[in-house]
């Protein structure tokens, strides 16, 4: 089973085509809901990024990763991704949009599983909007 090097959630990312170096921008730990007077829904694009390191016995082994998003109200969404450890390190990236409800405060949990085993957990604390009064 591979080992985890890192797992986090960020606002944007870039991968250098020549060197394969990854840059992760604006790691998200907290966010504030928009004011009720702001027009339109609050929709945030984010990336969940996991890097795994190959261990002996991982060659040609089919693995399944699951990116689980658990909202403060208890609802969950699983996004599965199959992969193999073809290189010494494998980077898995999930791009998604998050649209928290206007009153949904608390932790949004991002859980990374491999073959059903929890490998990592990243939480974003969602704060209520500031009152306009």
% the chain with pLDDT above 90: 70
Assigned CATH topology for domain 3-127: Immunoglobulin-like (2.60.40)
Specify the residue for token string 């960020």: 10
Q: Where are the domains of the chain?
A: 3-127
Over the stretch 45-94, which tens digit does the pLDDT of each residue have? 899 999 999 999 998 889 999 999 999 889 999 999 999 999 999 999 99
Q: What does residue 38 show for φ and ψ, rounded to 5 degrees?
A: -75, 135
Tell me, rounded to whole angstroms, the distance of Cα 93 from its chain centroid. Answer: 8
The predicted model scores a pTM of: 0.86
Q: Is the pLDDT of residue 26 over 90?
A: yes
């Amino acid at each position: 089973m591979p080992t985890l090097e890192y797992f986090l959630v960020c606002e944007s990312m870039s991968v250098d085509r020549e060197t394969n170096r990854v840059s992760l921008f604006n790691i998200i730990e907290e966010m504030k809901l928009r004011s009720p007077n702001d027009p339109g829904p609050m929709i945030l694009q984010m990336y969940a990024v996991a890097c795994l390191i190959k261990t002996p016995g991982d060659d040609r082994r089919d693995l399944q990763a699951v990116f689980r998003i658990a909202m403060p109200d208890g609802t969950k969404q699983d996004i599965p991704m199959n992969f193999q450890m073809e290189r010494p390190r494998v980077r898995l990236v999930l791009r998604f949009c998050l649209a928290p409800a206007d009153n949904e405060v608390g932790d949004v949990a991002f859980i990374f599983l491999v073959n059903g085993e929890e490998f990592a957990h990243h939480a974003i604390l969602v704060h209520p909007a500031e009152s306009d009064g």
